[in-house]
Amino acid sequence: MHKKIRQYNLKANDSINFDYMEILDQSIAAEVADKLLEIQAIRLQPDKPFTWASGWKSPIYCDNRLSLSFPEVRNMIKNKLVESVTHFFQNVEAIAGVATAGIPQGALIANDLGLPFIYVRSKPKGHGMENMIEGKVTPGQKVVVVEDLVSTGGSSLKAAEDLKNAGFEVLGMVAIFSYGFEVAAQNFKNAGIKLVCLSHYDALLPIAVKRNYISSEMLDSLSEWRKDPGSWGQ
């Protein structure tokens, strides 16, 4: 059985509860981070930060869709996501991908487990049946949601809420990578939904130093970004 590891160490007076955000295994977190860096699905540029759609300046850019183009990495991620589902959510009856990047990952998991697959749109289809959820809607069915990346958790949890509104029982969510923001932990706690990730930001940084993607001198700045991403770099 995998050792369940709480992701982040908090001060004794900190009210944030990270029990809703876990990783499958610490060694797997390092392995996945290493592979994502190797295929450049994750890029670190603290000296030339990226700008997110929110306007935040970020030293990291993550596009896990690139893993689909590398069969070895794709299969490793799929196998570990399957392991996450079967370990944490044993009563699962269906898999739901979050559009768009969670769709291929979810389909791979569902195929491997021999389970029905559905996916959730970010907004209803603009024609035809105007579906929010694509696939067979079975009220009462126990579903695990699949994401590729979690930042604040807003869009992921909206998909989970849409599934609940359609009558599904949402057991939890799995994802490849999380930035580990405190606001995400609070959002998942408030929603009462457990998130299990293969890897996260804290596992990434030592691997990035070891592989010379960044220097050890950059670690302070990179650590500060996760604490306050909204004001970092200003």
* 151 assigned ligand-binding residue: yes
User: If DSSP states are collapsed to H, E and C, what string results for the chain?
Assistant: CCCCEECCCCCCCCCCCHHHEEECCHHHHHHHHHHHHHCCCEEECCCCCEECCCCCEECEEECHHHHHHCHHHHHHHHHHHHHHHHHHCCCCCEEEEECCCHHHHHHHHHHHHCCCEEEECCCCCCCCCCCCEECCCCCCCEEEEEEEEECCCHHHHHHHHHHHHCCCEEEEEEEEEECCCHHHHHHHHHHCCCEEEEEEHHHHHHHHHHCCCCCHHHHHHHHHHHHCCCCCCC
Establish whether 149 is an annotated binding residue.
yes
Consult the annotation and say whether 147 binds a ligand.
yes
What amino acid occupies position 41?
A
Rounded CA-CA distance 33/11 in Å is 26
Per-residue tokens: 37: 């860096």
Residue 152 is labelled as binding a ligand: yes
Is 154 annotated as belonging to a binding site?
A: yes
148 is in an annotated binding site: yes
Q: Is 125 annotated as a binding residue?
A: yes
Q: Is 121 labelled a binding residue?
A: yes
Look-up: residue for tokens 């269906």?
94
Known binding residues for 5-phospho-alpha-D-ribose 1-diphosphate: 121, 125, 127, 147-155
List the binding residues for orotate.
151
What residue numbers does the annotated binding site cover? 121, 125, 127, 147-155
